[in-house]
Amino acid sequence: QPVTVYCSGRTDTGVHAAAQIVHFESDAERPLRAWTFGTNSHLDKRVAIHWASEMPMDFHARFSALDRSYRYTILNRATRPGYQAGTIGWERVLLDADKMHAAAQALVGEHDFSSFRSAECQANHAVRYLKRISVRRELDRVIVEVTANGFLHNMVRILTGCLLAIGRGERPTNWMSTLLEVRDRTQAGMTIAPRGLCFLQPSYPAEFGVPDFEKNKA
């Protein structure tokens, strides 16, 4: 029978997803193991179902989510990436991750993120509550992680592009605060390429029993 799938969130073309949550309605009686392994037998090899559960009728993959988390990984060295080329960003200039992290903290809280939305964004308004954002270095990688109650079109890619300009020393640390105030996309930096961005997962109220895949991953 036809199945309509509702997803917890959308990603741009070229962005990856580690733990997307979807829900659908069906009258079919099947063991949960069959929903997982049976579905995987029909999916593209780049996609796999890891978990399935029968949910209460008031659960909705999108509208029940409390927040969503993304990670942008940047390879920060002089030479380009090899086998990871399609899944990681790249910056030749040595980045100051500490300065990027300090600058990013201006974004925490409820703000109008008009400076960080694309012209094609169809959201009714640009106000979002950004719960946390961090920038850290792990050897030759700089990792940006951000969690919010929702995101605008290209929002993570735009704010990461702005943080790169700060990390390269092209902009001052307080530039992120300035961009929030002006609410003007034309004043912000480039929209960084999608390949380094990964939708990590959404989170839900505990009563729904959705696993924390990022915490429990191998």
> Catalytic: which of 12, 44, 58, 212?
12
140 a catalytic residue:
no
pLDDT at 1 over 90: no
Instruction: Give dist(CA 31, CA 53) in Å, integer.
Output: 10
Structural Rg of the chain based on CA atoms? 19
Q: Please calculate the CA angle 218-12-20 and round it to the nearest 5 degrees.
A: 35
For 42-92, the pLDDT digits (tens) are: 999 889 999 999 999 999 999 999 999 999 999 999 999 988 888 899 999
Q: What local confidence, expressed as pLDDT, does residue 103 receive?
A: 97
Please report which confidence band the pLDDT of residue 216 belongs to, taking 50, 70 and 90 as the band edges: low
Please report which confidence band the pLDDT of residue 12 belongs to, taking 50, 70 and 90 as the band edges: confident
Mean pLDDT of 134-151: 96
pLDDT at 181 over 70: yes
